[in-house]
Structure 1
């Protein structure tokens, strides 16, 4: 590995760049980043300095989305929703309740661990 330096006053500083690609990070990725910054700062700094932070957040986001879909499908099998055409407000309330239930476990297991 060859390093180049730039001079600032009497000191030489290495020209360091992080080779990390930009990724779309959604709700769960942003929540994970905030959790790492506030509660697991050493892990956050390690991931940031090694260039693995965005890939970690992207993986958390993908896993959380997949789990959310699977858990909502399982909850719908156990607790079928009322007819959307007959009672749209009850259907919306039911789906929101299922989403909140599934999301709570995802946040506990993936994001805040």
Structure 2
């Protein structure tokens, strides 16, 4: 691989091109993972960025986190009897309980998945 340079104000700047990356959306959980890596694991963040694997890692984490949160929400809702009957009878109570269930599901799933060192 031959490295080329561009002269700018008397300085030679290398013409670096990052490898092609995944184009899947990152989403909420992928963005949370990105922020964590950038702040707490900058070495890993930079390495993945330079290797072109960061975006696909973030998209994978987002997909996995969404699925796990959704599964946990469904499981907790079934256990607590939050169903379509409650939604029809009292939509406001249903929405409040579903929000609480979603928050509980995220508290269970996200710490290890987004903030753990699953890569090592």
Instruction: Report the TM-score when normalising by structure 1.
Output: 0.88
Tell me if the contact between 1:20 and 1:54 (Cα under 8 Å) persists in the aligned partners.
no
Mark the runs of 5 or more structure 2 residues left unpaired by the alignment. Answer: none
Tell me, in whole angstroms, the C-alpha distance in 1 between the residues paired with 2:113 and 2:20.
23
* Counterpart position of 2:111: 108
Indicate the SS of the match to 1:84.
helix
* Counterpart position of 1:42: 43
Indicate the SS of the match to 1:98.
helix
Task: Compute the RMSD of aligned alpha carbons.
Answer: 1.7
Deviation at 1:38, TM superposition (A): 0.9
Provide closer, same or farther for how the CA distance between residues 5 and 86 of structure 1 changes in structure 2, counting only shifts above 3 A: same
Tell me if the contact between 1:6 and 1:13 (Cα under 8 Å) persists in the aligned partners.
yes
Q: 1:87-110: per-residue Cα shift (whole Å, max 9, x none)?
A: 111111111111111111222011
Instruction: Report the TM-score when normalising by structure 2.
Output: 0.83
Query: Which is worse superposed, 39-48 or 13-22?
Result: 13-22
- Equivalent residues, number: 113
